[in-house]
A = this chain, B = another copy of it.
Amino acid sequence: MPKHSDGSGGGLDGVFHALSDPTRRQVVERLAQGPATTSDLARPFDMALPSFAQHLHVLERAGLVTSEKTGRVRTYRLVPQPLDHLDTWLAAQRTRWTRRLDQLDALLYDLKEQQQ
C-alpha cells in the first residue's frame, strides 16, 4: 500500500506531496504530452540518474504515472485521474468561498437597506 494513500484523503496526500517538487511537476507536464522513456524524461535535468529515478518513484507511488519495461527501456505514462481528484477538491473550496462572498454581499446589502 502506498505510504501516502492512507484513505484519509483518498490518496490526496501523496498526490499533493508528489507535485510539491518542481522536477516532478516538469515530468508531469512532459508526460501530459505523451509517453516518454526514463532517459527522455531525465534529459532536461542536470541530475544524477538515481536521484531522478527517485522522483519518478514518488510520482508512481502517488499514482500519477505508470511505467512499463520493454527490454532495458522503461516507458512512463501519465495517469490523469489523480489530477482530477485535486481538481475536485479545489472546486469544492471555491464553492465554499464563493458562497461565503455571496453571504457577505447579502449582509452588506441588508445593512445598507437598514440605513436608508
Q: Residues of A at under 8 Å CB distance from B?
A: 4, 8-9, 12-14, 16-17, 19-22, 25, 28-29, 32-34, 78, 80, 83, 86-87, 89-90, 92-94, 96-97, 99-100
Say whether, besides A17-B20, A19-B16, A25 and B97 are in contact (CB < 8 Å): no
Tell me if A32 and B96 are in contact (CB < 8 A): yes
How distant is the Cα of A31 from the Cα of B78 in the complex, in angstroms? 33
Shortest C-beta distance, A4 to chain B (Å), equals: 8
The secondary-structure label for the interface of chain A is helix
Say whether, besides A22-B8, A87-B90, A100 and B13 are in contact (CB < 8 Å): no
* Copies of this chain held together in the complex: 2
Interface-centre pick from A13, A19, A34 (highest chain B CB count, 10 A): A19
Return chain B residues, CB-CB under 8 Å to A100: 32-34
How distant is the Cα of A87 from the Cα of B94 in the complex, in angstroms? 10
Shortest C-beta distance, A38 to chain B (Å), equals: 20
Say whether, besides A13-B22, A16-B16, A32 and B93 are in contact (CB < 8 Å): yes
Say whether, besides A8-B22, A22-B13, A28 and B93 are in contact (CB < 8 Å): yes
Task: Select which of B12, B28, B86, B99 is within 8 A of A86 by beta carbon.
Answer: B86
